[in-house]
Amino acid sequence: MKVAGRISVLMIVFACPSLEAQPRAPELRFHFGTASFWEARRHVAAGASCRYYFGKSGWAVEPEYSFMTDNTHQDHMLIMNLVKDLTRPSRNAVLYTLLGGGMNWHRARVPGLGGLGWGMGVKVWANDRFFISPQFRLGLEPNLRFSVYLGFAKRRERRHP
C-alpha cells in the first residue's frame, strides 16, 4: 500500500505541469490536518492534490491522495473532487466549495471502502504564486476533516486594468 500511495502522489505532482495550455494554471497543493471516523480516534492527515480548472467558469477537478493515521493503523484515500470557486479568482481571498468521492484502503477493514464528502474553504494568496487554504469537510469515511493546504500555481489570474 505504501508503494501505491507514493505512486499516486507522484502522478499528481507530475501531471500538474502538463496542462499549461489551460486558461488558468493548475494548482499543486499539499495538505496537513486532522480527520475523524465514527468508530475511531482522531487521525493525523497529510496528502497532495492538483486542481485543474475548466476555462474561466470557476469549476475544477482535483484528484487527491490522503494518508491518515492514528498510530494504530493507516488509511490511504484516493479522492476525486469537483470544485467551484464562489468568488472571483482575481481576489486575494477566494471562497470555494467542493464535493468529493473516492476509495479508502485500510488493513483492518474491507479494502476499497468508498468515501464521500462535501466541504468549503478559502484560498488566501500570499503572492502571485503561493497560497494557503484552510478547508473543512463533512462526509463518510472520514466523517469530519479539517486541513490546511499550502499551494503553488505558476501564475495567478489577475484583474485587467
Q: Is residue 158 part of a domain?
A: no
Q: Is residue 160 part of a domain?
A: no
Name the residue range of residue 95's domain.
2-153
Residue count of the chain:
161
Q: Is residue 77 part of a domain?
A: yes
Q: Is residue 159 part of a domain?
A: no
In terms of DSSP H, where are the helices of the chain? 2-15
Q: Is residue 145 part of a domain?
A: yes
Q: What is the pLDDT of residue 140?
A: 83
| CA separation for the pair 118, 136 (Å, rounded) | 9
| CA separation for the pair 70, 142 (Å, rounded) | 13
Q: Is residue 142 part of a domain?
A: yes
Q: What is the pLDDT of residue 141?
A: 75
| CA separation for the pair 124, 117 (Å, rounded) | 22
Domain count across the chain: 1
Instruction: Give the contacts of 90 (CB within 8 A, at least 6 positions apart).
Output: 157, 158, 159
Q: What is the pLDDT of residue 133?
A: 96
Q: pLDDT tens for residues 81-116?
A: 999 999 988 889 999 999 999 988 776 655 556 788
Give the CATH number for residue 51. Answer: 2.40.160.20
Q: Is residue 120 part of a domain?
A: yes
Q: Is residue 141 part of a domain?
A: yes
Segments of the chain with pLDDT less than 70: 1-23, 39-40, 107-113, 156-161
pTM over 0.85: no
